[in-house]
Structure 1
Amino acid sequence: MDMRKPIIAQTSFSLRLSTHLFSSSSNLAFSPLSLHSLLGLLAAGSSGPTHDQLLSFLGSPVASDLAALHSHTSNVILADGSADGELCLRYAGGVWVDASTNLKNSFREVAGSVYKAEAHSVPFRSMPEECRNQINSWVEQMTTGKIKDLLPFGLVREDTRLILGNAMYFNGSWDAKFDPLYTKINTFQLIDGSSVETPFMTSSKKQFIAVYDGFKVLKLPYKQGQDWRQFSFYIFLPDESNALPNLLMKMNSEPDFLNCHIPTEKVPVGNFRIPKFKISMGIEFSEIFKNLGLVLPFTMTGDLSEMVDSSEASQYYVSQIVHKCFIEVNEEGTEAAAASAAILTFGCAFPIGEPIDFVADHPFLFLIQDDRSGVVLFMGYLLNPLLAE
């Protein structure tokens, strides 16, 4: 099957979320792939109008397209479970179901084969706090300690019946590392016109840069692992320090924007500076998804009955969707992690000749993408490199 259209739909989903989440007072980091996968698993357990609404929200006209995308993603793009010295990538899913309830065989099969989500029987009714700790420990172990307490105290209760979740960890070294000796403090302009002093990395080596009307794009490849995949870190830098909202709107208005604006050639650089930064944050997504039009899974009128063999199944609804993400960019490369859980309760570049300046000293959008497929793993924007959380 041709993966191009499903992957464009996934990147469109990513950009739609980043635009909707924009706030002029805080940085953003999230994993659109983690969230897309979680909603895809939810769609596999839904029926009727709820199923149709989930497919529409995820940009998949038919369920088979969604299944093909995530089967390809989990089995090929995210298949590496160990480090080879240059690249470490881990991904796993889970379905935790109350011991009094049995998953439908069809849902268990899709969860395992398509979403790499292993089923676990747990005593939500009698030991909700112990179950919460168990799931949190699983997430923390999967993300090498970067995501802690995904499920906050009180979220798992006696009436919890199902929790769907996933966790992802990425650690990549730059193909051309930055020399820490050349990292210097410099000024970063904030969106309100003020500024902060922060460490910037630099290099005199040629870089993948493309210049467009109103913005520039930088591609920083990671060292390739022992297979065909190639991951890269991208910065979409508007020309003006207060122009990130306009760039986000432009990116969101063109479904294939990312693929059409990827640098393909290395060019000589003039002034070249990239800030070091770290972002750690948590987001509750249920209200955000409702505001974007995904409503039925969160209501008693929704239909999530394809998950379990139970007379209660018709009353299942999603009470919360929690997500946490961590990303750190430094001279060595990038470390990133994310986890999500759903709780169910009863244009053309300008020609380049002269050396190009790329000074990321004001707010920009960033993402980590698998270049061969176009799948976006992580996305966010940096408004202030001194704000870690």
Structure 2
Amino acid sequence: MRRSFVELYSHSLTVSANTTMDLRESITNQNDVAFSIANHILSNHSGNNNIVFSPLSLHVVLSIIAAASKGPTRDQILSFLRSKSTDNLNSSVSHLVTIVLADATPAGGPRLSFANGAWVDHSLSLNPSFKQLVNNDYKAVLASVDFQTKAVEVSKEVNSWAEKETNGLIKEVLPAESVDGSTRLIFANAIYFKGAWAEKFDAQMSKDHDFHLLDGNSVKAPFMVSKKKQVISAFDGFKVLRLPYKKGEDKRLFSMYVVLPDAIDGVSALLEKVSSERGFLERKLPYQAVSVGDFRIPKFKISFGLEASNVLKELGVVLPFKDGDLTEMVDSFVSQNLYVSSIYHKSFVEVNEEGTEAAAASAVTMACGCARFPTKIDFVADHPFLFLIREDLSGSVLFIGQVLNPLAN
């Protein structure tokens, strides 16, 4: 008998890690960390702007740093990611890459691309076990480069790689002058997603309506509308909408969720609630289609970037950026002096009547030295809200963001 995706996924994790691993618990931990990071970014780094980022992309970067380190540095990363061991992290990432994030277009589903790359200075030799891990579990492309005399050229090569892997949406994951002669290794990943709605919106029905801003003003923005039943759950203070993407022949289910506070200025308090309770949002996701009264969702396009290393330091992950302990990475005494200098992250998302196109890229540089279901419900996203793109069968969250003004890019 053919086993379900979750059974196969759980079995493969168990076999590769040689231990019993609860897939749901692992994903829940990953998502709890994601919302904690999101809450911090939105509270301290958004500047009252629209944002989008890929927690999955950052999770992979931190996992590879954990695998490269030992001692207190490794322990600190594992504690932050709420993982018991690097084996669990590596096994989880491996199966996310090979199963959850495999391209779905051959089966008629969303277009997906998740790629990892490592650029290593030619003066260093990767530890064989670490090289095997990067090749096999992270499916990374490895390149030997000359940072000491060609740092600018390497930076351009990494940026070109990220642009290609994200279908041209992320053009410069590495800022100018972020790579120099002291750089010894860059690890980067890129994720691209493009999905069509299972039920597309009629573009001819889209109309301009008021979108209320946090400062009390409003703007006229184009809204998508529908009279068809929608998958919505309503709770005290907020509502959650599920917009499924067209499904392929495999078992994966991708959806966008819009988390809408009742209050115009309620997005910050809502995210605080989501990030403070373990598995909070998982318990609030809607599964029942209901008839709608007034239903409006704004079109939007967001491009956002940040130096994620600053965010991680503020959240308590400090040792990789000073003490290093990255001794599991290379066969050289130089490994004693390796440390993470920066982690850069850029994301893009566009939502319209056809569906969603989204991308993100991260690059780390290492240097030496209960619901109610009414018969009819309104869902009018005419004020700031949260959104996420999720693979529903595994529960993995690919992107998280907030829309404060749909006209601002």
CA distance in 1, matches of 2:200, 2:121: 48
- Name the aligned partner's letter for residue 24 of structure 2: R
1:304 pairs with 2:317 = no
Contact 1:81–1:91 (8 Å) recurs in 2: no
- Name the aligned partner's letter for residue 397 of structure 2: V
Contact 2:108–2:249 (8 Å) recurs in 1: no
CA distance in 2, matches of 1:84, 1:132: 36
Query: Corresponding residue for 1:284?
Result: 307
Q: Give the unaligned 5+ runs of structure 1.
A: none
The equivalences for 1:118-137 within 5 A come to 118-137=141-160
When residues 81 and 220 of structure 1 are mapped into structure 2, their CA distance, relative to the original with a 3 A threshold, is closer
Alpha-carbon offset, residue 302 of structure 1: 2.7
**Which one of 369, 372, 391 corresponds to residue 370 of structure 1?**
391
The equivalences for 1:229-244 within 5 A come to 229-244=252-267
Alpha-carbon offset, residue 367 of structure 1: 0.2
Report the secondary structure of 2:353's partner residue.
coil
Alpha-carbon offset, residue 107 of structure 1: 0.9
CA distance in 2, matches of 1:190, 1:283: 23
- Name the aligned partner's letter for residue 316 of structure 1: L
Contact 1:45–1:305 (8 Å) recurs in 2: yes
Query: Corresponding residue for 2:7?
Result: none
Report the secondary structure of 1:55's partner residue.
helix
Contact 1:82–1:90 (8 Å) recurs in 2: no
The farther-off stretch of 71-80 and 84-93 is: 84-93
The farther-off stretch of 13-22 and 211-220 is: 13-22
Contact 1:83–1:89 (8 Å) recurs in 2: no
Query: Corresponding residue for 2:219?
Result: 196
What whole-Å deviation, never above 9, does each CA across 1:206-259 have from its counterpart, x for those lacking one?
000000010000000000123111100000000010011110111011111121
When residues 176 and 32 of structure 1 are mapped into structure 2, their CA distance, relative to the original with a 3 A threshold, is same
- Name the aligned partner's letter for residue 260 of structure 1: R
- Name the aligned partner's letter for residue 381 of structure 1: Q
CA distance in 2, matches of 1:197, 1:213: 28
Query: Corresponding residue for 1:187?
Result: 210
Contact 1:170–1:337 (8 Å) recurs in 2: yes
CA distance in 2, matches of 1:260, 1:192: 32
Query: Corresponding residue for 2:295?
Result: 272
Alpha-carbon offset, residue 81 of structure 1: 7.2
Alpha-carbon offset, residue 311 of structure 1: 1.4
CA distance in 1, matches of 2:149, 2:294: 61
Query: Corresponding residue for 2:9?
Result: none
CA distance in 2, matches of 1:26, 1:325: 14
1:330 pairs with 2:352 = yes
- What percentage of aligned pairs have identical amino acids? 51
Alpha-carbon offset, residue 379 of structure 1: 0.5
Report the secondary structure of 1:229's partner residue.
coil
Q: TM-score, structure 2 length as denominator?
A: 0.92
**Which one of 68, 71, 94 corresponds to residue 45 of structure 1?**
68
Alpha-carbon offset, residue 323 of structure 1: 0.4
Q: TM-score, structure 1 length as denominator?
A: 0.97
1:62 pairs with 2:82 = no
Query: Corresponding residue for 1:165?
Result: 188
The equivalences for 1:1-389 within 5 A come to 1-22=21-42, 23=46, 25-80=48-103, 86-299=109-322, 301-346=323-368, 348-353=370-375, 355-388=376-409
Alpha-carbon offset, residue 118 of structure 1: 2.0
CA distance in 2, matches of 1:198, 1:141: 32
Alpha-carbon offset, residue 361 of structure 1: 0.4
- Name the aligned partner's letter for residue 76 of structure 2: Q
What whole-Å deviation, never above 9, does each CA across 1:134-178 have from its counterpart, x for those lacking one?
111111110110000111221111111000110010000000000
CA distance in 2, matches of 1:358, 1:290: 38
CA distance in 2, matches of 1:302, 1:24: 31
Contact 2:201–2:353 (8 Å) recurs in 1: yes
What whole-Å deviation, never above 9, does each CA across 1:238-285 have from its counterpart, x for those lacking one?
001001111011101111112101101100000000000000111111
Alpha-carbon offset, residue 65 of structure 1: 2.1
Contact 1:269–1:356 (8 Å) recurs in 2: yes
- Name the aligned partner's letter for residue 372 of structure 2: F
- Name the aligned partner's letter for residue 75 of structure 1: T
Report the secondary structure of 2:75's partner residue.
helix
Report the secondary structure of 1:156's partner residue.
coil
What whole-Å deviation, never above 9, does each CA across 1:102-145 have from its counterpart, x for those lacking one?
11111111112222222211111121111111111111110110
CA distance in 1, matches of 2:196, 2:141: 30
CA distance in 1, matches of 2:109, 2:188: 27
The farther-off stretch of 283-292 and 114-123 is: 114-123
Contact 1:231–1:368 (8 Å) recurs in 2: yes
Contact 2:33–2:81 (8 Å) recurs in 1: yes
CA distance in 1, matches of 2:158, 2:107: 28
CA distance in 1, matches of 2:178, 2:105: 32
Contact 2:104–2:110 (8 Å) recurs in 1: no
